[in-house]
Amino acid sequence: MTLEGTKVRNTTLLRRLGRGGMGEVYEGRDEKLQRLVAVKVLRAERRLDPLAKRRFLREARILSRVEHPNICRVLDFVEGQNTDFIVLELVPGTTLDQAIEQGLTTDEKRSIADQIASALAAAHALGIVHRDLKPSNIMVAPDGTVKILDFGLARTVDESSSGSFSSVDAAEGDPASQKSLTVTGGVLGTPAYMSPEQARGEPVSAASDMYSFGLILQKLFTELEPYAEGIGHEELLNKAMWGDTVPATGLQRGLSRLVADLEQLDPSARPTADSCVDRLRWVWNTSKRRIKRAAWVALGATLVLATVVSVLGFVRARRAQLRAESSEAAAQRAEAQAVAVNKFLADMLAAADPRRMGRDVKVIDILDQAAEGAGTAFGDEPLTEAAIRNTLGATYLSLGALDKAQEHLERASLIRSSLLGPDSLPALQTRTDLAKLLMAQGKLDDAEKLLAKITAACQRLWRDENQVCPNSATQYGKALLYQRKFGEALTVLERVRSALPAGAETAGRLDADLVLASVLREVDRDEEAEALIREAISTSTRVLGKVHPTTLRALQDLAILEDRRGNPEQAEEHFRQILSDCSTVFGPDHPSTLRTTLNVAISLTRLGRMKKAEEILVPLVAVCREKLGPVHMTTLESLRCLGWTISEQENRRSEAEPIYRRRYDDTRRLLGPEHRVTLEAESALASYYLFVGRHHDAEVLYRDALAKRRRVFGEDHPATQRSKRDLAKVLRATGRETEARSLS
């Protein structure tokens, strides 16, 4: 029976577009808004099935939670007398299958891959897993916009207490379409693009979608199905259970590696959607990166050699531990591994022959050349490959080449975790470097969670007997500092310092001291902070040199203290000297250089030199957005400083609003409406409105931020208390003193 001509609230059903396991889809016309829409209707035989109705409502609710340009939007849900209807945006164009068959350019394929990854990142951030991701569920509009359809099988992670859910479900499929949607053995999904764990009826998570995404990338770029044509349904399901796909050949090297990682049998080894967004960008920009070089050979050699020393230190510690376990043979293998690593790095440095590469050879040129051979030089020695990749990744990270660092560190982590276990010392070392990378990318929540796990593993298994563990704990303290959890950070860092020898002149001790000093400064213990900083400057200058990154960092911390104490002239002079050194050592676009540039601008605002500060901040914001991303700490702080600088100029106050608004919109879009950084940006915009006398606008935002902070943090959290004080200010400004007092 067709429903063509039926009226659903304001929408008339025009023609049936298709039919699936759960329902039928019609093209409709919204008579009120004069637009075409898609209307999904429960199939006739399922209209009296309460389970089917619950699933139908669940699909509408799940889709309504996701607001993303590459996910089909829910416009309305209508409960009818005999059946229910989901009103969706009508997506023109063709399915991805059809688009591939019609032919796509390389740029079009890349754009499609980027959009799918971005949509998955948004869905997974909300705990939503699609469960039936495949080319026929992806539409490509004539303008190239991608829309993911049919979240009918989707579930949220919070529907299961375990953080994943079983793919075992009641049969929803149409027997006539079993080749597409199978319920064999209680498994729900499309076998040709199904993850192995889903095919086996095991728990499904976001990693299952990522496996499907890997198969989609394979189909998109090879234009071949992931399984051989002509095989029967049962054989297809058996192959899907063990990931027995056709090898993806002819792909760009970085893309081939990504597809292989996505198609790992172990779900925990697959990259996340967020990671794929970054890795795809890295793959597409490979040729551009060869043109951009940003460091001196001397510094590069120092960094590489320093990392070699770090590797040797780790191997010595590992050797001692293995000997204690009467495993001399394993210790000898570890030592042989260190020798191989040293040889590889020595060959890498020797290859930097100025006669061949030119006098202006940069360290990244050398590293890129070495990285080319890292995957093949030790094909039969994966642990040696992991040590090499960890060294390369750590060195790229120190130079601010974050995309390159990520590729090598993720590969090293996968090898070490798979072969030695995720809580082995080598794996913990690499995971700590990955956490440092997350902090450099501004992903503070992810970094804090990862470091909490690493520190717990060290405490449980290794105590503080190895230098990897104090280093991990120091990084954990740094993540807590960045999250403004000062009490927790103090506890962690004081424990680290007690575990390290007093007066030790090591990079680990210096790092712990400087992070602790930053925490002490935040809790107004400036004298203790200054003593630690001055001692670190003295030690670092003597042991590492005047322009070593650790020395420059300590000098910058001292300049920040001077600024806090009301000496902006002296602070600005010091920041400019540090900026000159950072630009020489790191290059103009390195995160450390950009942060120092911001500090120069802040000092100028303290001196009332707003025009000079603005001249620095405008280009700084543009570079930070491009190099660090729109929600990196330095980007957001630069925007806030720029907004304040302009608002302080009385005749230009209105120009500051779009700056504060952009900051708030970026954080809300990329981090979510209840993220702590978004709430800070919302409060900053409200403070601007209060400053310029727009009391109603300020009150609306202050009330919204307070409600969210109460829900997220609780009534007694310092952030909630700050929100109360903010709201009280605007209430007093509008003469509501009694209501303001009720908030205290």
Sheet (strand 146-148) strand order: 94-95, 138-140, 146-148
With H, G, I as helix, E, B as strand and everything else as coil, classify residue 14: strand
- For residue 238, the model assigns a pLDDT of 83
Residue 387 is assigned to a structural domain of this protein:
no
Look up the domain containing 192 and give its range.
94-284
For tokens 């794996």, the residue is 427
CATH number at residue 209: 1.10.510.10
> Chain-wide mean pLDDT for the chain?
77
Q: Does residue 101 share a domain with residue 133?
A: yes
- The total domain count for the chain is 3
- For residue 58, the model assigns a pLDDT of 64
CATH number at residue 58: 3.30.200.20
Residue of 126 and 688 predicted with greater confidence: 688
Q: Which of 348-357, 466-475, 711-720 has the lowest mean pLDDT?
A: 348-357
Residue 158 is assigned to a structural domain of this protein:
yes
Q: Does residue 168 share a domain with residue 43?
A: no
Q: Does residue 64 share a domain with residue 98?
A: no
Q: Does residue 202 share a domain with residue 80?
A: no
Distance from C-alpha of 187 to C-alpha of 168, rounded to nearest angstrom: 5
Distance from C-alpha of 3 to C-alpha of 78, rounded to nearest angstrom: 15
Residue 499 is assigned to a structural domain of this protein:
no
Residue 127 is assigned to a structural domain of this protein:
yes
Residue 688 is assigned to a structural domain of this protein:
yes
Which residue, 33, 65, 89, sits at the end of a domain?
A: 89
Q: Which of 4-18, 76-90, 108-122, 124-138 has the lowest mean pLDDT?
A: 76-90
Per-residue pLDDT at 598 exceeds 50: yes
Residue of 742 and 498 predicted with greater confidence: 742
Residue 525 is assigned to a structural domain of this protein:
no
- For residue 371, the model assigns a pLDDT of 59
Residue 388: closest CA among 399, 397, 398, 377: 377
Per-residue pLDDT at 164 exceeds 50: no
Per-residue pLDDT at 177 exceeds 70: no
Residue 428 is assigned to a structural domain of this protein:
no
Residue of 364 and 37 predicted with greater confidence: 37
Q: For the residues 60-89, what does the mean pLDDT come to? A: 76
- For residue 339, the model assigns a pLDDT of 56
Per-residue pLDDT at 471 exceeds 50: yes
- For residue 289, the model assigns a pLDDT of 45
Residue 388 is assigned to a structural domain of this protein:
no
Task: Please report the DSSP string for 250-267 in residue order.
Answer: S--HHHHHHHHHHT-SSG
The gap from C-alpha 457 to its chain's centroid, in whole angstroms, comes to: 23
- Taking only the tens place, the pLDDT of each residue in 491-548 is 888 888 777 665 555 667 788 888 998 888 888 888 888 888 888 888 888 877 787 7
Model confidence band, residue 370 (pLDDT cutoffs 50, 70, 90): low
- Taking only the tens place, the pLDDT of each residue in 650-708 is 888 999 999 999 999 998 888 888 888 899 999 999 999 999 999 999 999 999 999 99
What pTM did the predictor assign? 0.46
For tokens 């213990």, the residue is 525
Residue of 241 and 327 predicted with greater confidence: 241
DSSP single-letter state for residue 247? P
Q: Does residue 127 share a domain with residue 270?
A: yes
With H, G, I as helix, E, B as strand and everything else as coil, classify residue 42: strand
Q: Does residue 85 share a domain with residue 131?
A: no
Residue of 166 and 531 predicted with greater confidence: 531
Q: For the residues 427-434, what does the mean pLDDT come to? A: 90
Where residue 156 falls (left for φ over 0; alpha for ψ -120 to 50; beta otherwise) is beta
Q: Does residue 215 share a domain with residue 112?
A: yes
Q: Does residue 140 share a domain with residue 79?
A: no
Residue 729's alpha-carbon distances to 120, 122, 506, 527, 695, in angstroms, are 41, 36, 49, 33, 10
CATH number at residue 695: 1.25.40.10
Q: How many residues does the chain have?
A: 744
Token duo for residue 583? 């630009």
Q: Does residue 157 share a domain with residue 28?
A: no
With H, G, I as helix, E, B as strand and everything else as coil, classify residue 139: strand
Q: Does residue 104 share a domain with residue 84?
A: no
Residue of 108 and 591 predicted with greater confidence: 108
Residue 216: closest CA among 123, 129, 114, 72: 114
Query: Which residues pair with residue 28 across a beta bridge?
Result: 13, 37
- Taking only the tens place, the pLDDT of each residue in 250-297 is 888 889 889 988 998 888 888 889 889 888 988 887 645 444 443 433
- For residue 53, the model assigns a pLDDT of 62
Give the per-residue SS3 of 551-604.
Answer: HHHHHHHHHHHHHHCCCHHHHHHHHHHHHHHHHHHCCCCCHHHHHHHHHHHHHH
Residue type, 109: K
Q: Does residue 61 share a domain with residue 188?
A: no
Which residue, 269, 284, 299, sits at the end of a domain?
A: 284
Q: Does residue 160 share a domain with residue 99?
A: yes
